[in-house]
Every structure is written in structure tokens, then in C-alpha cells.
């Protein structure tokens, strides 16, 4: 039971980090990123490979994951920021699928579809449950630090200007400020946060395959920030918590509904979340803690 709770909390906090990443990009800056999971995946693979192939201590692989996922956002920004909002959505979605396909194909490095197993835990000499708790503590610390960084960024003149870019880019240009610099930085920071989440995921789950990094995860995080409320840190946190409760809660329902298969249950979970999203849009478009609607 403790282990199950730890698992839930770990997934929850990883989702919170991903929600921060997306909220910085979309909620605050208006960048539609449909490829979030790509940066999550890059973080996971980078941290696994750095630990296993280079033999570096596990903790060093975390900054490496942030660096690689962040840097990978930079060329994406250069290409995509010439495009208008909805094109960025398509480009990022394609980008994350390309990342996944590269991971599948480059099996000399990534072991392709077989994935990477035996990723060391954060504290390999401890028992697995102790190590898990240690990872949870490290993850919560990292999330708390990320919250501070997010606060510093968003509640500053910088945060004001990225929100102005979200509301009206043309007006920002007319004031002599170049939105593309801000947007590129936000993509890189968001990428790094997603990469950090990926590194924790890899060292927690200890086994990664390309199929764990499919677009549905990106859209889970979208659901989280929409339900929680965009452009609010509390919105990202509450949305991610609500999302995990829904995903896990519907799993328990299975015992009460006879004759449902695993696949059927997965669809049922999505259905419940879908209905909830519609109800949110109808009755509370600003989300739990948001001040404005998501669109």
C-alpha cells in the first residue's frame, strides 16, 4: 500500500512538472505545444543512456537530460516561430513523433523497440522501496525548486511580457520588443522542465520503451492544465492531481463493472475524462483555479 501510494505520488509530481512546462509555454506565452511528450522522452532516454553508457552517477544524468531536452527545443523554436500559432501545433506534434521514430530506429544507441531495461535506481544500494521513497523526496524537492523558478519567471517583468505576447504579438512588436527571443527561451525552458520530468520517470520506472512516449501523454497534460486553469501555477498543480485521481480512480471502478476488458477500461477512462472536460468547458471554462478561459 505504501508502495502504491508512493507510485501514485511519483506519477503525480512528474505530471505536475510536465504541466508546469506546458503552462509556461501555452498558458503564459500562448505557444501551442502538441509535442511535449517528445521532450519528456528525450529527457528519459538521455538520463538512462548517460547513466548506463557513460557510467556517470545517476544524479548527474538529470542536468544532462534538461540540457539535451532544452537544447533540442532551440532548433524547433527557430523553425517554428516563423509560423503562426496553429502551425506550431502541427510542427510540434510532428517533432515529437519524429523523436519517437528516431528512438525506434537508432537501436545501436536506444535498443529500438526493445527499449532500455535495468536503468539504475537513484540509490542502487538501498532496497527498492527505500530507493523509491528517496526518489520521491528528490522529485518533490525538484518540483519545489521548479515552482520557485516558475514563480520568479512568471511574476516578473519577463512574465508580464510573455503574457503580452500571448495576448497580442503584433502590439508587442510595435512597442519595439522582439517576441521571437522570448518565445525561443520559453520553448527551451519548457523543454528542460519536461526533460527533468523524463529523467525522474526513467530512474523510477527503470525500463523505458518508445511506446511510453506517445502523443496521448501530451494530451493528458493538456487536459490537466485546462481542468486546473491556465496561467496559474496552482492550476497546473491541481490539474495534474485531478488527472491522476481520475486515471487511477477509474481503475478501481473496474472491480464494480462486470465483464469489462483492459482495453475497454482504458477507453472508459478516456471517456470519463472527456465528459469531465466538456463539463468544465460548459460550467467552468477557466478551470479550477484559472482567472480566464483556456482559449
**Residue numbers at the binding site for other proteins (CB under 8 A):** 152-153, 156-158, 160-161, 163-164, 166-168, 170-178, 182, 185, 231, 291-292
- CB-nearer residue toward other proteins: 7 or 163: 163
- CB-nearer residue toward other proteins: 63 or 120: 63
- CB-nearer residue toward other proteins: 125 or 295: 295
Q: How far is the CB of 220 from other proteins (least distance, A)?
A: 25
Contacts of 81 (CB under 8 A, 6+ apart): 88, 180, 183, 184
Q: How far is the CB of 59 from other proteins (least distance, A)?
A: 22
Q: Are 63 and 219 in contact (CB under 8 A)?
A: no
Torsion, Cα 96 98 104 106, to 10 degrees, reads: -120
Give per-residue burial for 102-126: e unless 16+ CB within 10 Å, then b: bbbeeeeebbeeebbeebbbbbeee
Q: How far is the CB of 206 from other proteins (least distance, A)?
A: 34
Q: Are 73 and 135 in contact (CB under 8 A)?
A: no
Distance CA 259, CA 262 (A): 10
Q: How far is the CB of 72 from other proteins (least distance, A)?
A: 19
Q: How far is the CB of 266 from other proteins (least distance, A)?
A: 36
- CB-nearer residue toward other proteins: 32 or 172: 172
- CB-nearer residue toward other proteins: 111 or 177: 177
Amino acid at each position: 500500500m505504501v508502495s502504491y501510494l508512493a507510485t501514485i505520488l511519483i506519477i503525480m509530481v512528474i505530471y505536475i512538472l510536465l504541466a508546469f512546462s506546458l503552462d509556461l509555454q501555452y498558458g503564459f506565452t500562448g505557444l501551442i505545444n502538441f509535442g511535449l511528450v517528445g521532450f519528456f522522452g528525450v529527457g528519459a532516454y538521455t538520463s538512462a543512456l548517460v547513466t548506463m553508457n557513460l557510467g556517470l552517477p545517476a544524479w548527474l544524468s538529470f542536468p544532462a537530460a534538461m540540457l539535451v531536452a532544452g537544447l533540442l527545443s532551440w532548433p524547433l523554436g527557430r523553425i517554428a516561430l516563423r509560423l503562426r500559432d496553429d502551425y506550431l501545433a502541427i510542427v510540434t506534434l510532428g517533432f515529437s513523433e519524429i523523436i519517437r521514430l528516431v528512438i525506434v530506429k537508432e537501436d545501436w544507441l536506444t535498443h529500438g523497440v526493445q527499449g532500455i531495461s535495468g536503468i539504475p535506481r537513484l540509490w542502487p544500494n538501498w532496497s527498492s522501496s527505500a530507493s523509491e521513497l528517496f526518489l520521491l523526496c528528490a522529485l518533490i524537492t525538484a518540483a519545489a525548486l521548479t515552482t520557485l523558478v516558475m514563480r520568479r519567471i512568471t511574476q516578473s517583468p519577463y512574465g508580464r511580457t510573455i503574457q503580452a505576447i500571448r495576448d497580442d504579438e503584433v502590439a508587442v512588436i510595435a512597442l519595439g520588443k522582439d517576441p521571437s527571443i522570448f518565445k525561443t527561451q520559453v520553448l527551451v525552458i519548457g523543454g528542460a522542465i519536461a526533460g527533468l520530468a523524463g529523467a525522474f520517470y526513467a530512474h523510477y520506472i527503470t525500463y523505458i520503451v518508445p511506446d511510453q512516449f506517445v502523443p496521448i501523454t501530451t494530451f493528458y497534460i493538456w487536459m490537466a492544465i485546462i481542468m486546473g486553469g491556465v496561467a496559474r501555477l496552482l492550476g497546473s498543480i491541481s490539474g495534474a492531481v485531478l488527472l491522476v485521481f481520475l486515471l487511477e480512480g477509474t481503475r478501481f471502478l473496474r472491480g464494480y463493472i462486470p465483464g469489462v476488458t483492459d482495453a475497454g477500461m482504458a477507453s472508459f477512462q478516456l471517456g470519463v475524462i472527456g465528459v469531465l472536460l466538456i463539463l468544465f468547458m460548459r460550467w467552468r471554462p477557466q478551470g479550477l483555479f484559472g482567472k480566464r478561459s483556456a482559449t
